[in-house]
Structure 1
Amino acid sequence: MPLLSAVFAREVLVAGGLKGAELTRQVEARVGRRNLLTDEDPPQFRTIVSETVLRTPLCQSQAWGEQLQHLSEAAERPNVTLQVLPHGARLHALASTDVMFLRLLDGGTVAYTESALHGELVEECGSVESLQRAYDAVRDLALSPAETRKWQMLEDVPCEPST
């Protein structure tokens, strides 16, 4: 998810086993994508974030609160649409996959799938179409953007890990 802080990205990637130069490269790439959203002419961006992710604290509780604050502020930008997928949503095809769709200058679409370990560009039309259908099904399960803003993640999610 391009809306993440460097601390959050680092913790997720370390948990996935990355270290050294590759860890640094991956953190920089993910934070760099986030920075595109605040450029002078930013692209439109839509994301669905699982409530589970929002309720899973980082090792550094202050950084976790900062990440939630960042998401809350990003959801107010005109080029960003944020939706929360609540705990009560049923199992879906993207349960273990992050997917991003990229519209090319020629009008085509490719997908980029990502895990804590690696990313993969998906260019084959049938595979991209399957991922788009799966994404649409997940979006149907998520809170609407307006419901997500009302959800008030900063108030609903404690910033101290439970013991």
Structure 2
Amino acid sequence: MSTSRGPSVRQRRLAAELRRLRERRGLTGDEVAERLAWSTAKVSRIENARTGAKIGDVLRLLDVYEIDGGRREDLVSLAHDAARRGWWEEYRDLPSPLADYIALEAEATAIREWGSTVFPGLLQTENYARIVIDGWSDLATLPPQELERRLDVRMRRREVLQRPRPLELSVVLDEAVLQRRIGDRNVMREQLEHLCRMADLPNVTVQILPLNAAHSVLAESFILLQFSPVHDIVFPDIVHTESLTISHFAEEAVTHMYTLAYQSLAGQALDPADSRRRILEARDAW
């Protein structure tokens, strides 16, 4: 399967900053291209992160923009970071939307997730995840080897929660997820016990929205990814939603609506302590 790879967060940060520096100098893309004996298209591709910027090209651009000192060192460091390959690029058969999402997830500082169907991927056990992924094979007819690779990818994604600077994960789960059978009773019990263990991590918060609670926001599952500035370069929040056929990313103005939606859902959900008790009750029921 041939797949394309979208730009990483690091590449997009660098591209946006290079464009900002050009505009601050009052230069057009054509003028920069003429000074460096490049095509205008090359300048555009670098500034739109459609191609990875080589270190040598970044240095030449910084010369044109007269950037030196600490700011230059920061941008060169960012350029080196942007050139690094992510672990997920070892899996060349991953669909592009999935690879793009993992690239964002790997660099996010915080994630806010509303789950109305299944447990979040970062909180799934191997047995639960296997059944969820197997379900997709009924629709996409994936060969067994590819299913195993997808499972391996999902398990590796969980590392963001226990890295040196772990991702901050906050989840609101519809109570129906606790009751929706995926696999057999053992799979569900194991999954719910695992959820409790993960919720004990200082960087993970899990809240349950009871079925009998007042629901003022009726929304399908969504994931809000947030990013801290790197070298004072801000990257916008991104919302990810998906259906059976579409994986969709939205930025900027749209994310504000999802931020408000998450805040409303979290406000109506049980607090973490009561949520833990509800999870254990569901485990015992299974």
Larger Rg: 2
The aligned residue for residue 32 of structure 1 is: 156
The aligned residue for residue 143 of structure 1 is: 270
Q: Describe the superposition over 1:88-132 as per-residue Cα deviations: whole angstroms up to 9, x where unpaired.
A: 1326232x2232323253253112224465532222x11111111
The aligned residue for residue 197 of structure 2 is: 73
* 3-state DSSP of counterpart to 2:225: strand
The aligned residue for residue 9 of structure 1 is: 129
Instruction: Tell me how many residue pairs correspond in the alignment.
Output: 157
Asked if 2 retains the 8 angstrom alpha-carbon contact of 1:92 and 1:138, the reply is yes
Identity %: 27
The aligned residue for residue 207 of structure 2 is: 83
Compared CA separation, residues 25 and 126, structure 1 to 2 (3 A): farther
Compared CA separation, residues 99 and 148, structure 1 to 2 (3 A): same
* 3-state DSSP of counterpart to 1:111: strand
Match of 2:247 among 119, 123, 126: 119
Output the aligned Cα RMSD: 2.5
Asked if 2 retains the 8 angstrom alpha-carbon contact of 1:5 and 1:67, the reply is yes
Compared CA separation, residues 101 and 63, structure 1 to 2 (3 A): same
Asked if 2 retains the 8 angstrom alpha-carbon contact of 1:65 and 1:154, the reply is no
The aligned residue for residue 142 of structure 2 is: 20
Match of 2:165 among 16, 19, 41: 41
Compared CA separation, residues 147 and 158, structure 1 to 2 (3 A): closer
* 3-state DSSP of counterpart to 2:267: helix
Amino acid at match of 2:280: L
Relative to its length, the structure with more helix (as a share) is: 2
Relative to its length, the structure with more strand (as a share) is: 1
Deviation at 1:46, TM superposition (A): 0.5
What CA distance in whole angstroms lies between the structure 1 residues aligned with 2:150 and 2:212? 32
Output the TM-score relative to the length of structure 2: 0.48
For CA contacts below 8 A with separation 6 or more, give which structure has more relative contact order.
1
The aligned residue for residue 108 of structure 1 is: 236
Unaligned runs of 5+ in 2: 1-119
Compared CA separation, residues 74 and 147, structure 1 to 2 (3 A): same
